[in-house]
Amino acid sequence: MERCPASAVTKGSIVTDGDHRPRAATVFDAIGVAYETAFAGSEAHRASLEWLLGQLAPGSRVLDVGSGTGRPTARTLADAGHDVLGVDVSPVMVDLAARRVPGAAFRCADIREMPLPDGSFDAVCVYFSLLQLSRAEQSALVGRLVRAVRPGGHVVLATVPLDVEDVEAVFMGQPVQVTSFGSEEFAALADGAGLKVLRQEHTVFTPAHPQAIPEPHLFLYCRRDGDPAA
């Protein structure tokens, strides 16, 4: 299927790119709506969205990377009147999101391969969607996402801050391969990509799932360099 530029995706629509299927798509197809249920209680996630809403001008264009079921991220932003594009590799997640959040647009695509014109978004959200990428892929993707944000725009990055690489694990009953950075290294990655880290939020969260264990979570509240404000 021919790729469709992000600008051609309208609210309430779903666009699918090609037949390439990353491993993460299989994992999150299987998890489906259970992911939303498991993480619905994250106060830190909701607090980061409230912070982002406070930075955005009316009708801002926001990219939600790894948009999942669309809730709470795309839903919160769309309900506030912003123009939201959610991107996820899982067709099941994209279908759920389109039905739950008709006020946003969703695209089933691998964000690593999706065209991202420079400065085309006012903000980008990346909530825990880097963990199945290699360290080199994470670094390269964050760099691309930063360039896709206008100077002075904002980025929220969230991850599980552990110094691990290609570790086999089980997440909500699904086998996964996890790679991440420690807290300082992840903040340095953001800084090296051209972001000013304005605030860091460290918390521990236990998903509402029978197989879940407490997870360290790190939220980085960032602004792309170029804003004349301090």
The domain segmentation of the chain, as residue ranges, is 16-56+112-224
**The pLDDT of residue 42:** 95
pLDDT digits (tens, 9 = 90+) for 191-224: 999 999 999 999 999 999 998 889 999 999 999 9
**The pLDDT of residue 11:** 57
SS3 56: coil
**The pLDDT of residue 174:** 82
pLDDT digits (tens, 9 = 90+) for 102-131: 999 999 999 999 999 999 999 999 999 999
**The pLDDT of residue 74:** 98
Q: Kindly give the parts of the chain with pLDDT less than 50.
A: 1-10, 13-19, 227-230
Superfamily for the 16-56+112-224 domain = Vaccinia Virus protein VP39 (3.40.50.150)
SS3 50: helix
Q: CA-to-CA distance for 26 and 53, rounded, in angstroms?
A: 32
Residues 6+ apart with CB under 8 A from 184: none
